[in-house]
Chain A
């Protein structure tokens, strides 16, 4: 039995930590804030482990109860509560572990920052929000967590608020996410509508909604008259719009690369490991609903596949180390979404977990490099850091190999299964998805090894100018350092090592239970007709055979090809890169401009909105609406000036007017009287 009090402690501890670190920041000082935040998240991690143990080995049943009633109107009531099944438990452990690592790393990374305490308050608050999201037992609470992580993400992207670029990146992230949330809240409304129509509502609790998911079959909703749409499809696509925003899928991906303006620890925590995977978690959680709509699954599959391949391509041409990893994140999120679309929800969650470890690791490594380069992020001014930063170098290699799905590394087990699932799926769009994720492997290897070579190998492209002052606000020249780059301190390298361990090995003993052992039990539902993992399970004989078998498989050969090309171009013959770029100029430009997605959103939506607003304001509002009011006042005033003249004060004028009036009156009476 899982105790509710334990769950309350688990969830609320980071909130308390955040409040103390934030509100008492000046009283408890830097060390105090860091200690409180880390202790609170450590407590949360410990509690998560206990819950995980109780649920998986302790035989505890699924926990589902409300803590308090949030809203109650007539028969309709929603609470704030907990649903802890295996899906939740896995997410809890993953989230709190990565969060804890990032908290520790932050001590080193933000050491000199004046906003040290504020930063700890934010990331602890983020952990709280993420826990609210994954532990929710109803759609409302899910949305609460969903929006709160968005808020903290906004605050953290704009953490260095004196930077104009950071301000705009934060604004963009929030608004683009709100576009997704716009769909998401309509999806929730559609769920409420469905429960109401089907007679077991109104309710927004997961349990009844999922239990009655089958009742959605054949139900329609008429949005455009004359065209009844499948209710399940409408619900699932609307909810998925939310996931597209939060998990940065095309075309709402534009905010994620810009979010790299935030400090690196949060790029690792929020924009790689946890928050952006909320969309994946949400769809997996909603699997009973998604199973009811093959159309929605096709949409999911195609969006994910498109993101997986085409966003990965952009990573090949960028030079900012964090941006490359950001595009890689987009691409990997695309892989997870493909898994969801193929009904291989377990594979999606599995990749979510391995990705959380190795991508957090990669970001933290890049942060370590950035510290050594004195906040330089341009890889064209790096190189030769291998000997100077051995731990960062080795752990980043480990993370990259996991990312490239090299056999044996954690990413291999998860990604390989996604590719296979896409191949085994029969829903509409599966072939396209299969080719996208397969070719994506080559692209992943290409940008990953390019990054490693440009950063750590070759000759240094930076130089040391001793005594260079680092004045506040002074723009540092790229590639000019005040002293030799050196390995980061222990608070930075220990999290790297601790993250590298699962990145390398965790796949070996999790692949069988998570994918083929019915590990998730009732938390994920797949219809027999869609169950690609069941089919793959027949050919799965364990992690070791899978490992050996992979050496003949297409993904491995493609990864190897990517490695070979990267090695040739960036290790041995750097001039080739420029030649290829010139030869394929239109393509290069297209990628370098990120498919003009930013251009479009900036000019059409941002400026378009402002122009529209000006036009509405000056034209309609001040011109028409206010014009009418002031016009009426004007006419009244002018009119009374005219009428004032009637009151001349001369008796004979009045007498004359009276006589005219009398004549008209009598004439009228006479006329009407006659007829």
Chain B
């Protein structure tokens, strides 16, 4: 219905913006800031247009663009969005505005480069969520490593070299298998087109190899236990904006990959090995919860809590086979998948907000150590209130976005097996444990040092950024229906698709 290539604009506008910001140069940080805000807001505006177009008739892949790109190997520049992509693209665009706002006066060196890296990430991440070609997806998937590498490596903390190397090599290591998988599929099917590949009848043995090549890549990216250890290190060293993008969006690239590749391309192998992913997800929820509880560093704590929350996403995605195929209940399967996607969006806002809060504290006392802080409710009352809100969202309190996805996944998991639901519901206890124990130490009580007692109040800019997060968290929690409406038909299609076996 629209010939105007809106998705390309969404991807390349922020990238072009990055070049413009770079041209502003190091000497004019003010200009660089305003330009990046302008470009991120413009991207967000475009994403709203896309949302509006999709909202009218939410089904299938829309706004497709298909250009023959490298005809020799039959790969094409094929973009398109379904309800899930739309939600994630809007999330990406919103988060980047908040990241630009959050970095305003905090980043003092090489402002233009920092902002350019953020804008490039904006475009590339949107690209990941729009790609309908496996090779194109892979390119975006890999390319996002580069600006993130610079964000952590240049503006990071003391051990940033160790953290960036670990982050880069670890995720890159996973991607190699992914690339081999993609090349093998091309070898067999003669195309990189995702929809063709999803319908291509791979044998069970092929599916098994492909499944593991996907899982290694996406499990590291998500991250899942036991390949998660890069994340806490990367977060601790990353600057606030890097952490926010990493937690809010980059982790979703992994779970989004699960949704587009193994779930649909290798459904029979996924069904066969679903137990493995389910067990690892439950371990993430419980085991990582305990690990989070004892972290002395706030960023590590929230990083571990992210891993636990991602467990709900992978759980929701992989119980789908038990529900749709073994129990023949596509309705519950849809509830699980939709819950997983809602959890992805919600976690984007909640973890982004928490890392922004930690950034606010870091700007004042230059540390993430929990023991340094205390009594924020008295020292910075408004900030304390924001903290409580986001902490409650993190524990999945109804009325906040954190509840919706977890509720949906637990509801559908019970049908798959009461035991899965039991272990998943343990999250109610353990997430309250680690989150509120943190809140007790930093928000309540009294400030341990005069310096901690004299922290300046939130300034207007910080207040606006946190208000943005708070509105999103509350809106999704109080009225999640629009989000459901957006992706209902897309998820239904996915469930219908994976109900039919490829090996007959």
Picked from B226, B229, B407, B419, the residue with its CB within 8 Å of the CB of A223 is: B419
**CB–CB B433/A161 < 8 A:** no
**CB–CB B422/A193 < 8 A:** no
**CB–CB B488/A74 < 8 A:** yes
**CB–CB B398/A73 < 8 A:** no
Q: Closest CB of chain A to B282's CB: distance in Å?
A: 14
| B96 at interface, CB cutoff 8 A | no
Selected interface stretch from B100-108, B270-278, B440-448: B440-448
Q: Closest CB of chain A to B477's CB: distance in Å?
A: 9
| B329 at interface, CB cutoff 8 A | yes
**CB–CB B414/A178 < 8 A:** no
Q: Closest CB of chain A to B176's CB: distance in Å?
A: 14
Picked from A151, A178, A196, A614, the residue with its CB within 8 Å of the CB of B332 is: A196
Q: How far is the CA of A188 from the CA of B413 in the complex (A)?
A: 12
Query: 0/1 per residue, B160-181, Cβ < 8 Å to A?
Result: 0000001001100000000000
Nearest-neighbor residue (CB-CB) of B385 within chain A: A22
Q: How far is the CA of A154 from the CA of B388 in the complex (A)?
A: 11
Contacts of A63 in B (CB 8 A): none
| A645 at interface, CB cutoff 8 A | no
Query: 0/1 per residue, A59-95, Cβ < 8 Å to B?
Result: 0000000001111111110000000000000000000
Known interface pairs A161-B375, A186-B422; A617-B294 also in contact (CB < 8 Å): yes
Picked from B291, B331, B446, the residue with its CB within 8 Å of the CB of A74 is: B331
**CB–CB B397/A147 < 8 A:** yes
Nearest-neighbor residue (CB-CB) of B487 within chain A: A73
| B99 at interface, CB cutoff 8 A | no
Q: How far is the CA of A614 from the CA of B295 in the complex (A)?
A: 8
Known interface pairs A143-B398, A185-B425; A613-B294 also in contact (CB < 8 Å): yes
Query: 0/1 per residue, B444-474, Cβ < 8 Å to A?
Result: 1110000000000000000000000000000
Query: 0/1 per residue, B49-63, Cβ < 8 Å to A?
Result: 000000000000000
Interface size of B by CB at 8 A reads: 66
Interface size of A by CB at 8 A reads: 59
| B392 at interface, CB cutoff 8 A | yes
| A621 at interface, CB cutoff 8 A | yes
**CB–CB B334/A73 < 8 A:** yes
Q: Closest CB of chain A to B387's CB: distance in Å?
A: 12
**CB–CB B335/A629 < 8 A:** no
Q: For the complex, would chain A's binding face be called helix, strand, loop or mixed by DSSP majority?
A: helix
Picked from A73, A223, A609, A633, the residue with its CB within 8 Å of the CB of B408 is: A73
Known interface pairs A147-B398, A162-B446, A167-B444; A174-B432 also in contact (CB < 8 Å): yes
Picked from A73, A162, A175, the residue with its CB within 8 Å of the CB of B436 is: A175
**CB–CB A70/B418 < 8 A:** no
Contacts of A334 in B (CB 8 A): none
**CB–CB A174/B436 < 8 A:** yes
Contacts of A186 in B (CB 8 A): 410, 414, 418, 421-422, 425
Nearest-neighbor residue (CB-CB) of B286 within chain A: A616
Residue picked from B375, B425, B480, most chain A C-beta under 10 Å: B425
Contacts of A154 in B (CB 8 A): 436
**Chain A positions 447-505 with a Cβ under 8 Å from a chain B Cβ:** none
**CB–CB B229/A621 < 8 A:** yes
Q: How far is the CA of A185 from the CA of B443 in the complex (A)?
A: 29
Contacts of B488 in A (CB 8 A): 72-74
**CB–CB A625/B421 < 8 A:** no
**CB–CB B485/A612 < 8 A:** no
**CB–CB A189/B429 < 8 A:** no
Query: 0/1 per residue, A360-374, Cβ < 8 Å to B?
Result: 000000000000000
**Chain B positions 247-305 with a Cβ under 8 Å from a chain A Cβ:** 287, 290-295
Nearest-neighbor residue (CB-CB) of A144 within chain B: B398
Q: How far is the CA of A182 from the CA of B289 in the complex (A)?
A: 15
Contacts of B429 in A (CB 8 A): 175, 178-179, 182
Contacts of B392 in A (CB 8 A): 151
**CB–CB A202/B331 < 8 A:** yes
Q: How far is the CA of A610 from the CA of B434 in the complex (A)?
A: 10
Picked from A75, A162, A616, A626, the residue with its CB within 8 Å of the CB of B445 is: A162
Q: Closest CB of chain B to A347's CB: distance in Å?
A: 31
Contacts of B443 in A (CB 8 A): 161
Contacts of A612 in B (CB 8 A): 290
| B415 at interface, CB cutoff 8 A | yes
**Chain B positions 373-418 with a Cβ under 8 Å from a chain A Cβ:** 375, 377-378, 388, 392, 395, 397-399, 403-404, 407-408, 410-411, 413-415, 418
Q: Closest CB of chain A to B129's CB: distance in Å?
A: 21
Contacts of A161 in B (CB 8 A): 375, 377-378, 443-445
**CB–CB A196/B329 < 8 A:** yes
Nearest-neighbor residue (CB-CB) of B431 within chain A: A178
| B184 at interface, CB cutoff 8 A | no
**CB–CB A74/B492 < 8 A:** yes
**CB–CB A614/B492 < 8 A:** no
**CB–CB B166/A185 < 8 A:** no
Contacts of A69 in B (CB 8 A): 481
Q: How far is the CA of A40 from the CA of B226 in the complex (A)?
A: 52
| B479 at interface, CB cutoff 8 A | yes
Q: For the complex, would chain B's binding face be called helix, strand, loop or mixed by DSSP majority?
A: helix
Q: How far is the CA of A70 from the CA of B484 in the complex (A)?
A: 9
Contacts of B21 in A (CB 8 A): none
* Inter-chain residue pair count (beta carbon < 8 A): 155
Contacts of B414 in A (CB 8 A): 186, 189-190, 192-193
| B225 at interface, CB cutoff 8 A | yes
**CB–CB B440/A167 < 8 A:** yes
Nearest-neighbor residue (CB-CB) of A147 within chain B: B398
Contacts of A70 in B (CB 8 A): 479-481
Contacts of A633 in B (CB 8 A): 169
**CB–CB B436/A171 < 8 A:** yes
Q: How far is the CA of A175 from the CA of B335 in the complex (A)?
A: 28
| B200 at interface, CB cutoff 8 A | no
| A416 at interface, CB cutoff 8 A | no
Nearest-neighbor residue (CB-CB) of B421 within chain A: A189
**CB–CB B484/A73 < 8 A:** yes
Query: 0/1 per residue, B330-368, Cβ < 8 Å to A?
Result: 111011001000000000000000000000000000000
Known interface pairs A73-B338, A167-B444, A182-B425; A617-B411 also in contact (CB < 8 Å): no
Q: Closest CB of chain B to A246's CB: distance in Å?
A: 13
Nearest-neighbor residue (CB-CB) of B446 within chain A: A162
Q: How far is the CA of A188 from the CA of B425 in the complex (A)?
A: 12
**CB–CB B291/A171 < 8 A:** no
Residue picked from A72, A73, A161, most chain B C-beta under 10 Å: A73
**CB–CB B229/A182 < 8 A:** no
Q: How far is the CA of A69 from the CA of B483 in the complex (A)?
A: 12
Q: Closest CB of chain A to B193's CB: distance in Å?
A: 28
Q: Closest CB of chain A to B153's CB: distance in Å?
A: 17
Q: How far is the CA of A170 from the CA of B432 in the complex (A)?
A: 12
**CB–CB B426/A182 < 8 A:** yes
Q: How far is the CA of A168 from the CA of B445 in the complex (A)?
A: 10
Nearest-neighbor residue (CB-CB) of B483 within chain A: A71
Q: Closest CB of chain B to A492's CB: distance in Å?
A: 27
Listed in ascending order, the chain A residues whose CB lies under 8 Å from chain B are: 68-76, 140, 143-144, 147-148, 151, 154-155, 158, 161-162, 164, 166-168, 170-171, 174-175, 178-179, 181-182, 185-186, 188-190, 192-193, 196, 202, 221, 223, 609-610, 612-614, 616-617, 620-622, 624-626, 628-629, 633
Listed in ascending order, the chain B residues whose CB lies under 8 Å from chain A are: 166, 169-170, 225-230, 287, 290-295, 329-332, 334-335, 338, 375, 377-378, 388, 392, 395, 397-399, 403-404, 407-408, 410-411, 413-415, 418-419, 421-422, 425-426, 428-429, 432-433, 436-437, 440, 443-446, 479-481, 484-485, 488, 491-492
The 6 nearest A-B residue pairs measured at CB: A189-B414, A613-B294, A626-B229, A613-B290, A144-B398, A161-B444
Would you mind naming 26 contact pairs between A and B with Cβ atoms under 8 Å apart? A68-B479, A70-B481, A71-B480, A72-B485, A73-B331, A73-B491, A74-B335, A74-B492, A144-B398, A158-B444, A161-B375, A164-B445, A174-B432, A175-B433, A179-B429, A182-B426, A192-B414, A193-B415, A196-B415, A202-B332, A221-B418, A223-B419, A614-B294, A617-B291, A620-B287, A621-B229
Beyond the given A158-B444, A617-B294, please list 7 additional residue pairs across the A-B interface where CB-CB is below 8 A. A70-B479, A74-B492, A182-B429, A186-B414, A189-B425, A192-B415, A196-B331
